[in-house]
Amino acid sequence: MPFPALRIGNLTARIPVVQGGMGVGISLSGLASAVANQGGIGVIAGAMIGMKEPDVAKDPLTANLRALRTEILKARQMTDGIIGVNLMVALTTFSQMVRTAIESKADIIFSGAGLPLDMPRHLLQMCEEKKEEFKTKLVPIVSSARAATVIAKKWVTHFGYTPDAFVVEGPKAGGHLGFKPEELHDPSHALEVLVPQVVDAVKPMEDKCGRAVPVIAAGGVYSGADIMKFLELGASGVQMGTRFVATHECDADERFKQSYLAARPEDVTIIKSPVGMPGRALENEFIQESRAGNKKPFKCIFHCVKTCEQEKTPYCIAQALINAMRGNLERGFAFCGANVARVNAIISVRELMDSLQKEFDEAKNSFSKSVQNVQSMLGRVAGMQ
């Protein structure tokens, strides 16, 4: 049984899987195009995308905008599929990055790490300035139904624009998390609870705008059975990050990928990130030293995130993640999802998608048999009365 398609406006993904945007070089055009070629939605992450540009230290804004344009163009040359961009609201260059992504004809902008309350303004302004219709879809990433409602109300009131979809990200996600530390293990914040709440919050929006506003479940989604579970809970698709790191096409260094293969459940830890959010990562000596207060002197040259408390933090988050992406994990660390210890092989994106389809089919068949057994039992009980 094939996956149900994920439709966001006029875009149709044959496989309802969004590859999570993993910043600082983990998901660039290589991974995004491979996912898009398999029928999913490939996503280029904008955070410190210009790290390989020669002028990134002198002029990070120009370097990041140039790199974003380049990566979108490279992805377009490798696929006819759907290419999205992930842009964190907390980026100091957020507005410029949004405009560049739209101008470069990205299919979708996914935006979290803050509420993207003014994102439609850029789309509408660009259509007016360029006398051209831009069709980039705008998709907020939220951690609650309340956040989804707040964003939608602001967008409709000020811009006459309803979000094209929502990603609801639960506390098992990798990287920076939109929860307080004490909420991460609270059952009331589990993704299984959040998805139906956001689906319910979206229904009035759909009624008012007269179109579907799909909800995409993210954070700890690992298998085809998980995909089936969240589709049954009302989601139209899922977002997955950790699984795509462990692919040949992932843009990170091989040593970064190998850290996932070596990970044990006890290696997964929650850090207090310099950007003011909790983050999920793989424990290592670098993290242990920072917890011990061993400050690593640095001069902030990137100014990448508005909320970074550089005077209080023992290290530069951008530099640590750049080092990790390049495989220098002794001078950085790897962000990861809660299920990273389940990763046991580096495979191709095609093999991953095929395995998800197989697991989805098995879960679907098992569910159907369970329903049939229950119906049969009820029929026998009715016949005995």
Per-residue pLDDT of the chain (385 residues; tens, 9 = 90+): 789 999 999 999 999 999 999 988 899 999 999 999 999 999 999 888 888 888 888 888 898 999 999 999 999 999 999 999 999 887 777 889 899 999 999 999 999 888 888 899 999 988 888 888 889 999 999 999 999 999 999 999 999 999 999 999 999 999 888 888 888 888 999 999 999 999 999 999 999 999 999 999 999 999 999 999 999 999 999 999 999 999 999 999 999 999 999 999 999 999 887 777 888 999 999 889 888 877 665 565 556 555 656 666 766 777 788 888 898 888 889 999 999 999 999 999 999 999 999 999 999 888 655 555 555 555 665 666 6
1 belongs to a structural domain: no
Same structural domain, 167 and 72: yes
Domain contains 213: yes
84 and 12 housed in the same domain: yes
Q: How many domains does the chain have?
A: 2
Q: Are residues 233 and 321 in the same domain?
A: no
Together in a domain, 89 and 134:
yes
Residue 288 neighbours by CB under 8 Å, 6+ apart: none
Residues 169 and 67 in one domain: yes
Verify that 238 and 320 share a domain, yes or no: no
**49 and 179 assigned to the same domain:** yes
One domain, residues 207 and 233:
yes
Instruction: Tokens for 350, please give them.
Output: 């095609």
pLDDT at 59: 85
With beta carbons less than 8 A apart as the criterion, state whether 167 and 143 touch: no
Residue 361 lies in a domain: no
Asked if residue 376 belongs to a domain, the reply is: no
**Residue 49: what pLDDT?**
86
- Does some domain include residue 370? no
**Judgement on whether residues 194 and 331 belong to the same structural domain of the protein:** no
> Based on the domain organization, do 184 and 266 belong to the same domain?
no
Expressed as residue numbers, the domain containing 195 is 6-251+344-355
Same domain, 72 and 213: yes
Here the CATH number for the domain that contains residue 120 is 3.20.20.70
pLDDT value at position 331?
A: 87
Query: 372 lies in a domain?
Result: no
Q: Judge whether 196 lies within some domain.
A: yes
| Beta strands per DSSP E along the chain | 6-8, 11-13, 17-19, 41-45, 82-86, 108-111, 137-142, 166-169, 175-176, 215-218, 237-240, 268-272, 278-282
Q: Distance of CA 377 to CAs 11, 91, 365, 366, 381, Å? A: 43, 57, 18, 17, 6
- Residue 97's φ and ψ, nearest 5 degrees, are -70, -40
233 lies in the same domain as 311: no
Instruction: Decide if 364 is inside a domain.
Output: no
Give CA separation, 293 vs 175, 297, 320, in Å. 21, 12, 16
